[in-house]
């Protein structure tokens, strides 16, 4: 989960890292009120999840209230780099003596966290990285012990305050399950070192341990998150067994998707699109979730108007109980009660699959559901193509008035 700058500063402040005084505004009334607490010059910083705001006009310095208010009036509700501007930070200007760049993230090949540091920070850091790799210092961190102070002393010339800043940055990274913490620039000021900016990405898998963090839920793009996305995420937050709903993204199609397996789920989406269909969502359940979790995810997935079908698909599972999970799907389906002739395609394989399919065949007959069952001998692409064909037939019948 990528955070807004103001949310990133909250994380860093918990580790004792200071920033220039700022207030986050959500409208012009906030801007006018906050203005009374700040002195000019001050900065207005658009709060969006994309980077390179400075060069794109998302950060401006102001010396008069009139120009500040006009800037905020134009930006609130507007689109900036593909995102709607909902928040603007008003930041007290500070005199900077020197600017540095510091970040901590993971090296997925070495399977270790590492520190990146440069004596040249600011808006041109990407150019520094590209043109002069020697200007960037990389230091691998022992994930158990953390950075060694003697190593940091060598890197920073025994600058105790900068060493302390980096140690606190590591504390924030480790304590709050971050995938990335980046401060660009770190400002050397008369009072010490300040985080002028704060880029923080949390590990989604660690969010269950971070329930107390004051951060806004984020959708797939930008900060707006659909109600169903939020409800789906609660499933795993309330029950650790297996995974169901942690990943749920609203799309603009009409075929509901319940996929299993990371790679297989992406192939399923591609296959539906390749067959001419449009997915209503992307979600997956994996591991070995109990039927209760799959039932909840099914209800959320199908709780949407104008769906033209539902596809439940995945690769051959090794330890997922197919009978258990498809029983949860059947219970959710029974609760939602889709329209007559609503097509459902199931393509699964794994432990207790034969029992599960016998149960679904009996369930479909008893409840009047149009369920089409495909075993692991049927390619996923074939099942997806069948789903799209049935979806098109269903929509054609609905448009002709054959389906109420």
Cα separation, 135 vs 57, whole angstroms: 27
Q: Which residues, in sequence order, are bridge partners of residue 50?
A: none
- Residue 80: is its pLDDT beyond 80? yes
Q: Which of 126, 173, 119 is nearest to 146 (CA)?
A: 173
Domain(s) of CATH 3.40.50.261: residues in the chain: 226-399
Topology of the domain comprising 21-92? Dna Ligase; domain 1 (3.30.1490)
Residue 385: CB atoms within 10 Å: 18
pLDDT tens-digit series, residues 159-213? 999 999 999 999 999 999 999 999 999 999 998 999 999 999 998 777 778 877 8
pLDDT tens-digit series, residues 311-335? 999 999 988 999 999 999 999 999 9
CATH superfamily, region 226-399: Succinyl-CoA synthetase domains (3.40.50.261)
Q: Look at residue 402 in the predicted model and tell me its pLDDT.
A: 61
- Residue 398: is its pLDDT beyond 90? no
Q: What is the pTM of this model?
A: 0.67
CATH pick for 98-207 out of 3.40.50.620, 3.30.470.20, 3.40.120.10, 3.10.110.10: 3.30.470.20
Of 61-75, 119-133, 309-323, the least confident: 119-133
Q: Look at residue 223 in the predicted model and tell me its pLDDT.
A: 47
Average pLDDT score over residue span 247-271: 92
pLDDT tens-digit series, residues 337-373? 887 789 999 999 999 999 999 999 999 999 999 999 9
Q: Look at residue 82 in the predicted model and tell me its pLDDT.
A: 83
Domain(s) of CATH 3.30.1490.20: residues in the chain: 21-92
Residue carrying the six token digits 């901590």: 104
Domain(s) of CATH 3.30.470.20: residues in the chain: 98-207
Cα separation, 73 vs 32, whole angstroms: 11
């Amino acid at each position: 989960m990528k955070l807004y700058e103001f949310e990133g500063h909250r994380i860093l402040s918990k580790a004792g890292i200071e920033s220039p005084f700022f207030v986050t505004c959500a409208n012009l009334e906030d801007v006018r009120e906050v203005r009374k607490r700040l002195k000019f010059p001050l900065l207005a910083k658009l709060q969006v999840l994309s980077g390179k705001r400075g060069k794109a006009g998302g950060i401006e310095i102001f010396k008069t209230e009139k120009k500040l208010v006009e800037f905020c009036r134009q930006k609130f509700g507007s689109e900036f780099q593909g995102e709607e501007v909902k928040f603007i930070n008003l930041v007290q200007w500070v005199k900077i003596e020197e600017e540095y760049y510091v970040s901590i993230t993971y090296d997925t090949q070495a399977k270790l966290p590492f520190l990146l540091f440069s004596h040249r920070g600011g808006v041109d850091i990407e150019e520094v990285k590209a043109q002069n790799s020697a200007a960037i210092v990389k230091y691998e961190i022992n994930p158990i012990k953390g950075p060694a102070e003697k190593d940091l002393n060598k890197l920073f010339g025994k600058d105790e305050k900068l060493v302390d800043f980096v140690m606190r940055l590591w504390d924030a990274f480790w304590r709050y399950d971050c995938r990335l913490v980046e401060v660009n620039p770190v400002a050397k000021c008369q009072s010490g070192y300040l985080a002028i900016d704060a880029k923080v990405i949390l590990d989604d898998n660690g969010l269950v341990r971070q329930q107390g963090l004051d951060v806004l839920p984020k959708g797939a793009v930008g900060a707006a998150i659909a109600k169903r996305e939020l409800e789906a995420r609660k499933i795993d937050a309330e029950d650790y067994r297996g995974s169901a709903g942690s990943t749920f993204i609203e799309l603009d199609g009409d075929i509901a998707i319940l996929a299993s397996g990371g790679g297989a789920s992406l192939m399923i989406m591609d296959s539906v699109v390749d067959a001419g269909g449009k997915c209503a969502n992307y979600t997956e359940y994996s591991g070995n979730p109990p039927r209760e979790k799959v039932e909840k995810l099914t209800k959320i997935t199908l709780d949407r108007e104008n769906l033209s079908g539902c596809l439940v698909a995945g690769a051959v599972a090794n330890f997922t109980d197919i009978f258990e999970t498809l029983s949860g799907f059947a219970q959710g389906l029974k609760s939602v009660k889709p329209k007559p002739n609503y097509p459902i395609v199931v393509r699964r394989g794994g432990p207790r699959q034969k029992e599960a399919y016998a149960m679904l065949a009996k369930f479909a007959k008893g409840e009047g559901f149009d369920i089409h069952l495909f075993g692991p001998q049927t390619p996923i692409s074939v099942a997806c193509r069948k789903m799209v064909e049935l979806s098109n037939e269903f929509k054609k019948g609905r448009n002709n008035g054959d389906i109420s």
